[in-house]
Amino acid sequence: MSGIRPTGFLHLGNYFGAMRNYVKLQEEYTCYFMVADLHALTTHPDTKELKENVHRVLAENIACGIDPEKAALYCQSHVRETSELYLYLNMLAYLGELEKTTTFKDKARLQPDNINAGLLTYPVLQAADIILHRATWVPVGKDQEQHLEMARNFVKRFNHRYGEVFPEPLAYNFGEDLVKVPSLDGTGKMSKSENQLATLYLADADDVIRKKVMKAKTDGGPTSPNMPKPDYIENIFQLMRLVSAADVVSSFEGSYDNCSIRYGDMKKQLAEDMVAFIAPIRERAESIRNDSIYLEDIMQLGAEKARKSAVATMDLVRNAMGLVY
């Protein structure tokens, strides 16, 4: 189970942190992937734009390889049971732990005039999304590690108080550690809304991709053999490892180590490999996005599958809690 908020264009971080893993998991597991429109409300977006954003995120998910016939691909607000479970879990979540959450502190800093209760209980809603399907694997990027730990705590508390209903959910990345895709300016991670010039979006045109990559921060090059790489240079290598062929990466690694590297050439290579990676996804997403009828059918099919699982879980929950009179 996993979700992505419809708060902006999807980017390379969403792809490598989340969607790449969705595509692999759907082959072996029963999967639930959703567009997290309720989570998006915590930042008070203009709700007139939500429909277009929900459609775009759905189209981009499908363009990246999610098969709506295999996985349940749905919209969070179409499954009302989520909100009921969120309410019950809120009684098991404590103010102190919620206030200490890194993402809450970051958001509170970014939007000091809108520190609403939904923002504070964001990890509770996320836990409800996951355990509504009694999910065990949650494909997410590294930034979600703390939320997953909180979800496990809520599960332990629920099971301890009311009896074993939920498995403990674990963050999942295929075969490696959780991923954090760095931004191109050497600071922080790629993100939907911050530092847009340093983020590569799946909807970026070829020349925009080239321009952004060529602007990535570099320096005069290494001054002695086998020097450790500064963060912003390591970030460029990291991006290259995601999209370029292994021999291309090792050739630039070699020229870094013997001080012959030319960052201009490296960025040109990275830009072309990024274009080759992103362009087919962008083109597929564009044609899917124009077909609203198809997207609405997909959402309906996904919501039916998700509701079936949600209703079964909520029966277990109400019984365990004794809410049956």
Cβ of residue 140: shortest distance to ligand AMP, in angstroms?
Answer: 3
| Residue closer to ligand AMP, measured from CB, 89 or 179 | 179
| Residue closer to ligand AMP, measured from CB, 192 or 289 | 192
Across-strand partners of 34? 3, 74
Alpha-carbon distance of 131 to 317, in angstroms, equals 11
Say whether 138 sits in a helix, a strand or coil: strand
Let me know if 192 is a catalytic residue: yes
Residues near ligand AMP, by CB under 6 A: 4-5, 13-14, 16-18, 140-141, 143-144, 179-181, 189-192
Sign of the dihedral defined by the CA atoms of residues 61, 204, 290, 8, in that order:
positive
Considering the candidates 100, 107, 142, 212, report the single residue annotated as catalytic. Answer: 107
Alpha-carbon distance of 108 to 120, in angstroms, equals 9
Residue 62 gets the label, from left (phi > 0), alpha (psi -120 to 50) or beta, of: alpha
Alpha-carbon distance of 83 to 310, in angstroms, equals 11
> Phi, psi (5° rounding) for residue 219?
-145, -160
Structure tokens at 220: 């005069």
| Residue closer to ligand AMP, measured from CB, 54 or 190 | 190
| Residue closer to ligand AMP, measured from CB, 17 or 302 | 17
Cβ of residue 125: shortest distance to ligand AMP, in angstroms?
Answer: 13
Let me know if 189 is a catalytic residue: yes
Across the beta sheet with 32-35, the strand order is 2-4, 32-35, 72-75
Where do the H-state alpha helices sit in the chain?
A: 12-14, 20-25, 37-40, 50-63, 81-90, 95-100, 102-110, 117-120, 122-131, 145-162, 206-214, 231-243, 246-257, 263-289, 292-321
| Residue closer to ligand AMP, measured from CB, 41 or 181 | 181
Separation of CA 18 from chain center: 5
Say whether 139 sits in a helix, a strand or coil: strand
Considering the candidates 180, 189, 211, 215, report the single residue annotated as catalytic. Answer: 189
Cβ of residue 260: shortest distance to ligand AMP, in angstroms?
Answer: 31
Let me know if 107 is a catalytic residue: yes
Cβ of residue 299: shortest distance to ligand AMP, in angstroms?
Answer: 18
Q: Do the strands 32-35 and 2-4 form a parallel or antiparallel pair, or are they unpaired?
A: parallel
Sign of the dihedral defined by the CA atoms of residues 131, 132, 135, 139, in that order:
negative
| Residue closer to ligand AMP, measured from CB, 25 or 317 | 25
Cβ of residue 284: shortest distance to ligand AMP, in angstroms?
Answer: 19
Alpha-carbon distance of 171 to 325, in angstroms, equals 37
Cβ of residue 9: shortest distance to ligand AMP, in angstroms?
Answer: 10
| Residue closer to ligand AMP, measured from CB, 191 or 269 | 191
Considering the candidates 100, 105, 142, 192, report the single residue annotated as catalytic. Answer: 192
Alpha-carbon distance of 34 to 29, in angstroms, equals 16
Positions marked catalytic: 107, 189, 192
